[in-house]
């Protein structure tokens, strides 16, 4: 059948992934994934705030040096525990403050989430948790930088 018509079969997932990576700037999240993250970011912040609340309350009530944070992956030695509790309280405050601006898609919410990620990174580096610092920082900032354009000043 010479000169027959061409059938457009669309792109396979692999072809789309290669095209998404090779157009410059590295691999980007699909549009629907970015939309979902931005639409639900304030719900994730609310969930994190609820999960952090009992631990932060214990830190305030028991005192920062007596807080058992081993279940969060924070070492229980006397020198690390106070720094871990302070970092946790700072992250809690930053995430709680980000809820309303994230719901309104304001850049302030994005900045507060970035500050919380930086706080976690600084804690990890200061106390020698280098693998956690690389993994969590890489994932956090990859997602944050992918959705930054969705937030307005």
pLDDT digits (tens, 9 = 90+) for 36-78: 999 999 999 999 999 999 988 887 766 555 555 555 555 555 4
Residue of 139 and 83 predicted with greater confidence: 139
pLDDT at residue number 88: 84
The answer to whether residue 141 scores a pLDDT higher than 60 is: yes
Which of 106, 26, 16, 91 lies closest to 53, judged by CA? Answer: 91
Residues paired with residue 152 on neighbouring β-strands, in sequence order = 106
């Amino acid at each position: 059948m010479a000169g027959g018509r061409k059938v457009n079969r669309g792109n396979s997932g692999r072809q789309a992934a290669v095209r998404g990576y090779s157009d410059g700037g590295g691999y980007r999240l699909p549009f629907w994934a970015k939309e979902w993250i931005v639409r639900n970011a304030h719900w994730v912040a609310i969930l994190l705030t609820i999960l952090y609340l009992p631990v932060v309350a214990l830190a305030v009530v028991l005192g920062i040096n007596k807080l058992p944070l081993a279940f969060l992956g924070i070492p229980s030695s006397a020198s690390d525990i106070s720094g871990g509790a302070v970092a946790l309280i700072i992250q809690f405050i930053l995430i709680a403050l980000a809820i309303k601006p994230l719901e309104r898609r304001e850049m302030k919410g994005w900045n507060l989430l970035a500050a919380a990620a930086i706080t976690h990174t600084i804690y990890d580096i200061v106390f020698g948790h280098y693998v956690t610092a690389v993994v969590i920082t890489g994932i956090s900032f990859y997602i944050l930088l992918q959705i930054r354009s969705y937030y307005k000043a």
